[in-house]
Chain A
């Protein structure tokens, strides 16, 4: 699937933005993932073409970073932290509950295509609100079984109704809406 025109324009802008066009690789990968949900080899070849760099460079960089996806996943991304600070406050129990509630194993997608979940050992920076999970880049803190239930219910709603989470600790940007900054699967498609 070739990249959409706005994404291509974004990438060309990015190439001008940095003292070295190679620095535009990671932002360009974000732009692609925002548009397509994941990053294919073909998309990386396109990035390479627009930046005037060999595609091996793009692939070498992309494969290092854990947030770039190489295959499609569910509409929503649920990541639960099980590092020590979260473990101390019951993250294992919450992860086990999440698995039972979703009925699929760590790393898998629910049959309705709504949710891909996995546990992570990478600290997400919300230890003060442990146990926590990240739902499409938003932190859901102080998890309980009831909270997990209501989050899942919200995420399982059809695409149109699946808006941003209600309760958030973090401010959201008002003015700028650069494509690279949007949640990776916030696009509307089915």
Chain B
């Protein structure tokens, strides 16, 4: 069932970031076709296509759009380009290679939901990507794709590119909206969901970069065409960001349903240095670890969930037999501690204490009871935090304790890391 890539099919084309080149590959014909349709038809089309959000939660995009209350204006579209999940670098790739594809997707989504002002929230660290998008916006404005009475169809749309300033939490949609309003990026209580009360208290849709990139293709080729790609509950493709111990790390767009083995062994060229696979982690820092026995699980939201992890934002971190699983978990826990916004106690205090215990483990100062203490703290955070950041901080470490508990015991009994990670002094 090999299917040609959709989003990355023209990425070998030189200067694709330029409007003229993008148009030569069929760029903006999706938007033109969309403008010939009624907005409601577009919402139905995307619903029917089965497209699910690519930001992490996998919520059906068309359904998200249809939650906007009727007759309430203005309404906003926000494209989430705050890609910060450790292990993920696909949005950066999609923006760098084809900023106009992102923009075209945003324009289609905006028209479909009746929005006249769209935003792109891009993480502060992505400055060259910010500049690429800004250049694309200027070109699109000159070409008449953005502005008043777009292409003479009576539709007005403007796009504001907004740069974040270093906060993982702003990838969470309500925190993103709070940040876009100029406040500290703390998450908000849901409900009300952004569809009802979002940016500036108005109905708002937040869609991920990769999600909107699918839209031009769905509009051009139809829901049935898109629905024929992938699995029954996971239509289309995904761009997987592969990193860690593989021969060829990088971004690979694969049809949903492709076995994980194919991604790691064929696309990635297998585990490096002729070593054995120890574990891998789909979805990014948040997600639970999987083992070699899971290699034949399909790259698909539901299949990965069934195997005990989550597909999340589409990362694949591969770990070989020399990896210290305790140290890997330590990094992620320290990351979540660093990025906790401090709003709620379970996450703020819990990640602090988990990080402390992991440091103790690695330094050889942990006690026998510390493993259960970690599980206990994890239990106190998961499901008790204000937003998913807190919950997710516990998933990887708890899964590592489940599968690699003996490594924790070794750290305790041998008073240090058995994998001889000696270079710790330069680490934050």
Residues of A within 8 A of B183 (CB): 22, 60-61
**Cβ–Cβ contact B89 & A170, under 8 A:** no
Report the nearest B residue to A120, measured CB to CB.
Answer: B428
Report which of B91, B135, B181 forms a contact with A176, defined as CB distance below 8 A: B135
**Cβ–Cβ contact A84 & B317, under 8 A:** yes
> Given A22-B183, A123-B285, do A84 and B328 touch, yes or no (CB 8 Å)?
yes
Q: Min CB distance, B421 to chain A, in Å?
A: 7
**Cβ–Cβ contact B427 & A82, under 8 A:** yes
Report the nearest B residue to A28, measured CB to CB.
Answer: B182
**Cβ–Cβ contact B335 & A122, under 8 A:** yes
Most chain B beta-carbon neighbours within 10 Å: one of A17, A30, A119, A173? A173
- Per-residue B-contact encoding for A157-190, CB less than 8 Å = 1, 0 else: 0000000000011111111101011010000000
Residues of A within 8 A of B184 (CB): 60-61, 63-64
**Cβ–Cβ contact A181 & B88, under 8 A:** no
**Cβ–Cβ contact B129 & A170, under 8 A:** yes
Residues of A within 8 A of B108 (CB): none
Report the nearest A residue to B251, measured CB to CB.
Answer: A128
A23 within 8 A of B: yes
- Per-residue B-contact encoding for A116-145, CB less than 8 Å = 1, 0 else: 001111111111111000100110000000
Most chain A beta-carbon neighbours within 10 Å: one of B86, B168, B332? B86
The range of chain B's interface size is: 35 or more
Measured CA separation A129–B96 after assembly (Å): 15
Report which of B135, B162, B421, B427 forms a contact with A26, defined as CB distance below 8 A: B162
B163 within 8 A of A: yes
**Cβ–Cβ contact B244 & A85, under 8 A:** yes
> Given A122-B166, A181-B127, do A87 and B425 touch, yes or no (CB 8 Å)?
no
B238 within 8 A of A: no
Residues of A within 8 A of B385 (CB): none
**Cβ–Cβ contact B182 & A83, under 8 A:** no
**Cβ–Cβ contact A84 & B165, under 8 A:** no
B134 within 8 A of A: yes
The range of chain A's interface size is: 35 or more
**Cβ–Cβ contact B423 & A93, under 8 A:** yes
**Cβ–Cβ contact A181 & B134, under 8 A:** yes
Residues of A within 8 A of B92 (CB): 125-126
Report which of A63, A87, A123 forms a contact with B328, defined as CB distance below 8 A: A87
Q: Which of A13-58 contact B (CB under 8 A)?
A: 17-20, 22-27, 29-30, 57
Report the nearest B residue to A168, measured CB to CB.
Answer: B128
A89 within 8 A of B: yes
Residues of B within 8 A of A126 (CB): 89, 92
**Cβ–Cβ contact A83 & B128, under 8 A:** no
- Per-residue A-contact encoding for B304-333, CB less than 8 Å = 1, 0 else: 000000000001011100010001100110
Report the nearest A residue to B74, measured CB to CB.
Answer: A19
Measured CA separation A30–B285 after assembly (Å): 29
17 A-B contact pairs sorted by A residue (CB < 8 Å): A20-B181, A22-B183, A26-B164, A26-B165, A30-B165, A57-B182, A66-B167, A88-B328, A92-B421, A93-B423, A119-B428, A120-B428, A122-B84, A168-B128, A171-B132, A171-B135, A173-B131
Chain A residues within 8 Å of B, Cβ to Cβ:
17-20, 22-27, 29-30, 57, 60-61, 63-68, 82-85, 87-89, 92-93, 95-96, 98-99, 106, 118-130, 134, 137-138, 168-176, 178, 180-181, 183
4 closest A-B pairs by CB: A173-B131, A170-B128, A127-B243, A65-B165
Q: A23-B181, A82-B331 are in contact. List 19 more A-B contacts (CB 8 A).
A: A19-B200, A22-B182, A26-B162, A26-B164, A27-B163, A66-B166, A66-B167, A67-B165, A83-B332, A84-B332, A85-B243, A88-B317, A92-B421, A120-B428, A124-B125, A171-B17, A175-B135, A176-B135, A183-B127
